[in-house]
């Protein structure tokens, strides 16, 4: 059975070489050899050798490229043979640590090579294509981060100023803040930062710092230096051997060739694939618009045949829907109508929210209906033949209103009665806790004509597409439900709209579902299931209410402080809170299916593409997860692995070894 | 078995008289007789008689006082006899409806008299004192509203302008808005208002209006008129026969003798005990400072011997603690430190929250410590020998900060850099959803010196009292917990403070408890129970988070709108949401006791004195409920009744009949 290098307890990534006391005379030396390039996976011996030096010296400072020596030195064939037998034994690219003593080769250790990113994908692909791995086995060996590391990082570093060039010695891209010692990296990690550890070269005693780092940069060293080997073992992006870069330990800064000075705390981005160090990090926009992680063809093919929880896409436009579909999404899990209200349209909605019902509102409602119908048509066409869950307007009414503080300051300067009137409305509608206020279905109940117009746009788009011979499959999702009666209210509105359009709910055939995002909806899942055709768990809001924590406010101050003090390992918004939110999720599955066996249950929320969360929701019995388009391939990978883990011992064992 | 008049399905309170077609010549008439005064319970025949009139006429317009006729009319002895036998049969004051036809008495119906308030208390007291009711039986026959109606209403109507005087025909005090027809009362109730129905006189077809009304006022009529009889049957305060008051049906208003005009929608207060109609209603302050409902001595005595869930008091001062103790509280369930920060002290706390730690903060912290120690000493002395749960500062940090909007408007007018600095701090600490932000234990974690000073004040007060030979029994309650680690953080702080004071946690002997008010704390009750000495359920916040609803915002607009549309019967903040919040409460008991059998579990929150909630929490297995001092007697009554209901069929049956 294939055994892959384990991340060992002390983080040494299995390297023994530096610890081996060896005598290295003029006819001796230390070496580290790989059967494949550890960054790209290309077959062929690579590595390095330090004549007359110890293993520790080799790891600290690097050596000569092994490729130049393997065919000329007397110990070359022995190293080749050791790599060949080790590779055959492991059925995996091999790494051999050796010393030469008085001209004689002594192999210290043979292990499977620690591979990440493209190298790992390539090793798995080779074995899959040879037929020595089944699709499920191959899929189980690929980790989400390998696929992410293998993709082009150009979008993320686009536009950032280059600080220095070096050697990419461990692939991947990461952004963080500069620290200049292992101790500073440990402290920064404890403070909730993402330290980029910049050293002259790393030594074994720097291990705690490497374990805390987000990326590593060494002024010296090379592909086989300690820092590079450990970084690859840990999957951290690393750049070594900076060209012209100089650490100034007196000033505690890194002087770059361009005359730039990087100091502790500065933000940098490390591209360990290309070997470039950038100043600064990607903007929020760049992070949000990360390009999709595309799967290699063989992996996409292997996944398609495997079982697993279904993966849908969160798509608010025809474009997103098409992108998600191309990446393998099995439908839309969440289409947010509020995302269709941008620019001028936001003003229209704001007028509706600020006005009292009356004839002057008709024009705005008609305009909303027209553009929603057009947008929904695009979405349904892109997802033709696959389910598309359309959610009624969800966010706090508050978000569509002018900011009270700004309005009040502006108003104080004016002396205009009609302005004061509008300020009065804003003040009246202002809520102290908008997340706990008029939002989701509540807005829909208070402004039924706004609900009706959304439903009408959806039904009109659907009926028109059907008449045109297409196969639209919309589902209507009701957000922020806390009582079954709210669902009935929307159902009744839907029936009214159908009647106005000369059809019926049965004929329109649009299932009605409840979003489970209040704890009450989760606790009352069996009652709500009786009134719904499907349920969709919203993990973001459910987490906020279960914890009594607003994400936006908490992630600015409170959660970092908690992580800092050690009260919390991870933000519950980043990593699914299995104990409490997960417990409610399991309960929803149990209670809903007890009432309606086979009821369709989905999950949407930012955690829905995370491997741990996907496995949790798959095991809990949900039918699908839904995530942003770029995350769809990773979610599909996690879904197939989760299914594999449940079925096959092989995959489980391998996963644990990783 | 005693049977008390049931509130019948059509709301007629059992009166048949008006429906009986009878011939009333000059030697005939219709009458309604009681064996006891239905308002006060004083024994002796009362009622009224209309010579030559039908039952319907008697009910509509009232008649002659029966007391003047019973000893002179030939049918008098027959009525007396009917009352006597009926009273004996029911073992309860009797009501007899009769007609006189051609000089001969015909009894139409004999029933137990519908008694409320003082009259009902007096009837139960008489039977209890004679020994024909056990303490448990007597307690089971008294309803919370009887005790409330029987108390003096003087505080609530104090200072209100008198609009009109009349006859108090159904006891109790209620405030609401004027309506002039049964239909308007029904509509107002549906709109979530509390209609006070003002009529010339009521007729049977006005029943739906009476059922919707909060109180009743009739221009004419008397103690035995339809309105009075029905109002007593329903327990509504009612005033009849206004002196000089005149309904102007053309103008749709009530003209009072003083020249005041009451129109539809005006707020009035009806005192049906004294027969006074006031303009306006009690202020929020008057409502909050309602005097305690004191129990009659016999009832207090009967309760003391009965089992039942323990009742503690919410008390934030020595005065409140003493008041609660005098009313029978078994300890303090909730002492809120934030209520000790009033006036100038609020400024001190605000400075601490706005400053960064530093030497200038020392003075403010010392001042907080000194006054908390003094206040806590008062509280512990008042509750000497009984448990007193002291809660660390809980409310959103936000509440102690200046209002951002006001500050920004004021600041815009100035041009002062130090003002801008302070505005910057307010802006930085401002939260969009303070209920989901830095509050409770979170404030305590972010400002550990503020936590330490609170704990120090408590321990110092406790140790000093012990040295003085007293028996203080404080317990420290940690609010807004969502992880067990938060509790440990406070426990560690407590250990540090103890060490500074030369003692230890074990020696200080102050139990540490968690407030269960986030859904997560409820779901993780077993983990939290392992880290806590006791748990206290906070129903207000738990309800808010389970529903995703902020009470303050929701009760202004959203909940009334929901009740209006019929989506919701009752605000979950007013009536315990048994389905979801109750489900979590039951789970807390189960999970906590599974880990620590016998663990002490309490409830505090505004519902904790409500009879339905007290019964629910008693049955769920909680050890105590805690409520405001004036509600302690009512909660004790509910607690004993809940225990009785579980033990005795008698009480259950009687309760249902009520």
Percent of chain A with pLDDT over 90: 42
Which residues 429-468 of B are in CB contact (within 8 Å) with A? 431-438, 442, 445-446
- Does residue A130 or residue B243 have the better pLDDT? A130
Which chain B residues are Cβ-neighbours of A577 within 8 angstroms? 520
Which residues 575-614 of B are in CB contact (within 8 Å) with A? 577, 579-580, 583-584
- Residue A12 has a pLDDT of 37
- Does residue B608 or residue A139 have the better pLDDT? A139
- Residue B324 has a pLDDT of 93
Q: Report, as an integer, the average pLDDT of A351-370.
A: 81
pLDDT in tens, B595-629: 999 999 999 877 777 888 999 999 999 999 999 88
Confidence of residue A297 (pLDDT cuts 50, 70, 90): confident
Render A311-322 in DSSP notation, one character per residue: EEEE-SSHHHHH
Cα separations (Å) of A117 from A2, A114, A151, A234, A577?
18, 10, 8, 12, 28
Residue A556, pLDDT > 80, answer no
Q: Cα A484–A486–A489 angle (5° rounding)?
A: 115
ipTM of the assembly?
0.77
Which residues 465-484 of B are in CB contact (within 8 Å) with A? 480, 482-483
Dihedral sign, CA of A428, A430, A434, A439? positive
Q: Report, as an integer, the average pLDDT of B424-447.
A: 83
Render A3-32 in DSSP notation, one character per residue: ------TTS-TT--GGG------TT-EEEE
Mean pLDDT, chain A, as a whole number?
85
**Sequence-distant (≥ 6) Cβ neighbours of residue B131 within 8 angstroms:** none
- Residue B654 has a pLDDT of 35
Q: Cα A564–A270–A607 angle (5° rounding)?
A: 55
- Residue A5 has a pLDDT of 34
Q: Report, as an integer, the average pLDDT of B430-435.
A: 80
Residue A418, pLDDT > 70, answer no
- Residue B462 has a pLDDT of 98
Residue from A109, A113, A76, A68 nearest A91 by CA? A113
Q: How far apart are CA A140 and CA A136, in angstroms?
A: 6
pLDDT in tens, A490-546: 999 999 999 999 999 999 999 999 999 999 999 999 999 999 999 999 999 999 999
Q: Is A74 exposed, middle or buried (0-12, 13-18, 19+ CB in 10 A)?
A: exposed
Q: Report, as an integer, the average pLDDT of B538-565.
A: 88
Q: Report, as an integer, the average pLDDT of B398-406.
A: 70
**Sequence-distant (≥ 6) Cβ neighbours of residue A38 within 8 angstroms:** A46, A93, A95, A113, A114, A115, A119, A223, A232
pLDDT in tens, A147-192: 877 665 555 677 788 888 888 888 788 899 999 999 999 888 888 8
Q: B24 in helix, strand or coil?
A: coil
Beta-bridge partner residues of A215: A196
Q: Report, as an integer, the average pLDDT of A63-82.
A: 89
pLDDT in tens, A213-228: 999 999 887 777 788 8
Residue A287, pLDDT > 70, answer no
Percent of chain A with pLDDT over 70: 86
State residue B46 phi and psi, 5-degree precision: -135, 175
- Residue A204 has a pLDDT of 75
- Residue B9 has a pLDDT of 32
Cα separations (Å) of B368 from B338, B349, B350, B449, B450?
11, 8, 11, 11, 9
- Which of A353, A402, A436 best tests the B interface by mutation, with the highest count of B CBs <10 A? A436
Residue B401, pLDDT > 60, answer yes
Can you read off the two tokens belonging to residue B437? 């932000």
- Residue B551 has a pLDDT of 85
Query: Strand B173-179 vs strand B267-271: parallel, antiparallel, or unpaired?
Result: antiparallel
Tell me, yes or no, if A226 is annotated catalytic: yes
Q: How far apart are CA B478 and CA B421, in angstroms?
A: 33
Beta-bridge partner residues of A538: A604
Residue B3, pLDDT > 50, answer no
Can you read off the two tokens belonging to residue A634? 């990773």
Backbone dihedral region for residue A239 (phi beyond 0: left; psi -120 to 50: alpha; all else: beta): beta
Give chain B's length: 658
Dihedral sign, CA of B493, B436, A529, B558? positive
Which residues 532-561 of B are in CB contact (within 8 Å) with A? 541, 544-550, 552-554, 557-558, 561
**What does pTM read for this prediction?**
0.78
- Residue B560 has a pLDDT of 82
Query: Does A356 touch chain B if contact means CB atoms closer than 8 Å?
Result: no
Confidence of residue B417 (pLDDT cuts 50, 70, 90): low
Q: Which of A129-138, A621-630, B364-373, B404-413 has the lowest mean pLDDT?
A: B404-413
Confidence of residue B421 (pLDDT cuts 50, 70, 90): low
For tokens 């066996």, name the residue. A597
Residue B13, pLDDT > 60, answer no
Residue B4, pLDDT > 50, answer no
Backbone dihedral region for residue B241 (phi beyond 0: left; psi -120 to 50: alpha; all else: beta): left
Residue B486, pLDDT > 50, answer yes
Render A470-494 in DSSP notation, one character per residue: ---EEEEEE-S--SHHHHHHHHHHH
Mean pLDDT, chain B, as a whole number?
85
Mean pLDDT comparison of A179-193, B5-19, B367-381, highest-scoring range: B367-381
Q: Which of A62-71, A284-293, A539-548 has the lowest mean pLDDT?
A: A284-293
- Does residue B72 or residue B59 have the better pLDDT? B72
Can you read off the two tokens belonging to residue A325? 């579909």
Catalogue the E-assigned strands of A500-573: 512-516, 534-538
- Does residue A526 or residue B236 have the better pLDDT? A526
| Cα pseudo-dihedral A271, A274, A275, A276, rounded to 10 | -60
- Residue A39 has a pLDDT of 76
Residue A6, pLDDT > 50, answer no
Q: Distance, in angstroms, between B523 CA and closest chain A CA?
A: 6
Give the number of other CB atoms < 10 A from CB of residue B619: 15
Q: Cα A636–A642–A645 angle (5° rounding)?
A: 140
Q: Report, as an integer, the average pLDDT of B195-201.
A: 91
A523 closest CB neighbour out of B404, B554, B584: B584
- Residue A8 has a pLDDT of 34
Q: B572 in helix, strand or coil?
A: coil
- Residue A10 has a pLDDT of 34
Give the number of other CB atoms < 10 A from CB of residue B15: 23
Can you read off the two tokens belonging to residue B177? 């808005």
Q: Distance, in angstroms, between A493 CA and closest chain B CA?
A: 13
Render A232-246 in DSSP notation, one character per residue: HHHT--EEES-SS-E
- Residue A503 has a pLDDT of 95
Backbone dihedral region for residue A177 (phi beyond 0: left; psi -120 to 50: alpha; all else: beta): beta
- Which of A523, A540, A556, A564 best tests the B interface by mutation, with the highest count of B CBs <10 A? A523
- Residue B411 has a pLDDT of 67
Q: How far apart are CA A157 and CA A410, in angstroms?
A: 40
DSSP label at B258?
T
- Choose the catalytic residue: B116, B165, B226, B531: B226
- Residue A249 has a pLDDT of 72
Mean pLDDT comparison of B87-91, B248-252, B403-407, highest-scoring range: B87-91
DSSP label at A401?
S
State residue A449 phi and psi, 5-degree precision: -70, -25
Render A128-192 in DSSP notation, one character per residue: HHTTSS-HHHHHHT--HHHHHHHS--HHHHTTPPEEEE-EEEE--EEEEEEESSHHHHHHHHHTT
Cross-sheet strand order for the sheet of B94-101:
B64-65, B43-51, B29-36, B94-101, B104-112
- Residue A420 has a pLDDT of 66
Q: Which of A70-74, A405-409, B565-569 has the lowest mean pLDDT?
A: A405-409
Query: Does A486 touch chain B if contact means CB atoms closer than 8 Å?
Result: yes
- Residue A93 has a pLDDT of 93
Q: Counting one residue from A and one from B, how many pairs have CB atoms under 8 Å apart?
A: 164
- Does residue B606 or residue B391 have the better pLDDT? B391
CA B603 to chain centre: 16
Q: How far apart are CA B148 and CA B118, in angstroms?
A: 9
Q: Is B94 exposed, middle or buried (0-12, 13-18, 19+ CB in 10 A)?
A: buried
CA B13 to chain centre: 25
- Residue B653 has a pLDDT of 32
Q: Distance, in angstroms, between B366 CA and closest chain A CA?
A: 25
CA B300 to chain centre: 18
Residue A488, pLDDT > 90, answer yes
- Residue A547 has a pLDDT of 97
Give the number of other CB atoms < 10 A from CB of residue B147: 21
B434 closest CB neighbour out of A432, A523, A577: A432
Render A44-76 in DSSP notation, one character per residue: EEEEEEEET--HHHHHHH--EEGGGTTTTSTTH
Q: Which of A431-435, B105-109, B233-237, B421-425 has the lowest mean pLDDT?
A: B421-425
pLDDT in tens, B160-186: 888 888 888 887 888 999 999 999 998
Q: A538 in helix, strand or coil?
A: strand
């Amino acid at each position: 059975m294939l055994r892959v290098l384990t991340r060992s307890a002390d983080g040494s990534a299995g390297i023994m070489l530096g610890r081996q006391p060896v005598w290295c005379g003029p006819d001796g030396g230390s070496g580290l050899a790989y059967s494949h390039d550890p960054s790209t996976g290309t077959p062929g011996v690579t590595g390095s050798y330090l004549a007359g030096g110890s293993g520790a010296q080799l790891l600290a400072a690097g050596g000569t490229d092994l490729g130049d020596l393997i065919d000329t030195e007397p110990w070359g064939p022995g190293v080749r043979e050791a790599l060949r037998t080790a590779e055959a034994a492991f059925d995996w690219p091999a790494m051999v640590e050796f010393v030469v003593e008085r001209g004689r080769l002594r192999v210290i250790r043979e292990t499977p090579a620690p591979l990440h990113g493209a190298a790992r994908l390539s090793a798995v692909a080779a074995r899959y294509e040879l037929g020595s791995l089944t699709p499920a086995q191959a899929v189980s060996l690929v980790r989400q981060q390998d696929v992410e590391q293998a993709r082009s990082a150009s979008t993320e570093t686009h536009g950032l100023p280059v600080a220095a060039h070096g050697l990419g010695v461990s692939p991947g891209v990461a952004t963080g803040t500069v620290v200049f010692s292992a101790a500073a990296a440990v402290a920064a990690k404890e403070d909730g930062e993402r330290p980029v550890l910049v050293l002259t070269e790393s030594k074994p005693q720097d291990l705690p710092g490497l374990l805390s780092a987000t990326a590593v940069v060494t002024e010296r060293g090379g592909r086989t230096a300690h820092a590079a080997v450990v970084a690859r073992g840990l999957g951290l992006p690393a750049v070594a051997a900076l060209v012209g870069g100089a650490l100034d330990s007196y000033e505690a800064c890194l002087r770059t060739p361009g005359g730039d000075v990087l100091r502790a705390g500065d933000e940098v981005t490390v591209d360990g694939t290309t070997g470039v160090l950038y100043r600064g990090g990607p903007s929020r926009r760049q992070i949000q618009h990360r390009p999709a992680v595309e799967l290699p063809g063989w992996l996409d093919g292997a996944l398609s045949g495997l079982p697993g929880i279904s993966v849908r896409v969160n798509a608010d436009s025809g474009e997103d829907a098409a992108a998600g579909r191309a990446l393998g999404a099995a439908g839309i899990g969440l289409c947010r109508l509020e995302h269709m209200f941008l620019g001028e349209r936001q003003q229209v909605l704001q007028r509706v929210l600020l006005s009292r019902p009356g004839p002057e509102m008709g024009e705005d409602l008609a305009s909303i209906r027209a553009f929603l119908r057009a947008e929904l048509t695009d979405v349904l066409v892109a997802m033709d033949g696959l389910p598309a869950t359309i959610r009624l307007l969800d966010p706090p009414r508050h978000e569509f209103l002018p900011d009270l503080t700004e309005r009040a300051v502006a108003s104080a300067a004016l002396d205009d009665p009609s302005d004061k009137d509008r300020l009065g409305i804003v003040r009246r509608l202002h809520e102290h806790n908008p997340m706990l206020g008029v939002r989701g279905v509540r807005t829909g109940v208070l402004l039924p004509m706004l609900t009706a117009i959304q439903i009408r746009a959806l039904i009109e788009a659907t009926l028109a597409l059907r008449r045109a011979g297409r196969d639209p499959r919309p589902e209507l999702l009701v957000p922020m439900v806390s009582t079954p009666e709210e669902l009935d209210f929307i159902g009744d509105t839907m029936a009214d709209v159908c009647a106005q359009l000369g059809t019926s709910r049965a004929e329109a055939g649009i299932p009605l579902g409840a979003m489970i995002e209040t704890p009450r909806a989760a606790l009352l899942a069996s009652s709500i299931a009786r009134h719904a055709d499907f349920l969709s768990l919203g993990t973001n809001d459910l987490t906020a209410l279960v914890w009594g924590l607003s994400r936006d406010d908490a992630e600015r101050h409170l959660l970092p402080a908690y992580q800092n003090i050690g009260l919390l390992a991870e933000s519950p918004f980043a990593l699914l809170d299995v104990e409490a939110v997960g417990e409610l999720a399991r309960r929803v599955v149990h209670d809903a299916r007890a009432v309606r066996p086979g009821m369709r249950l989905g999950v949407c929320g930012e955690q829905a593409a995370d491997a741990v969360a996907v496995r949790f929701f798959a095991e809990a019995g949900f039918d699908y997860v839904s995530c942003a388009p770029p995350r769809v391939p990773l979610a599909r990978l996690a879904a197939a692995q989760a299914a594999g883990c449940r079925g096959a011992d092989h995959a489980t064992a391998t996963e644990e070894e990783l």
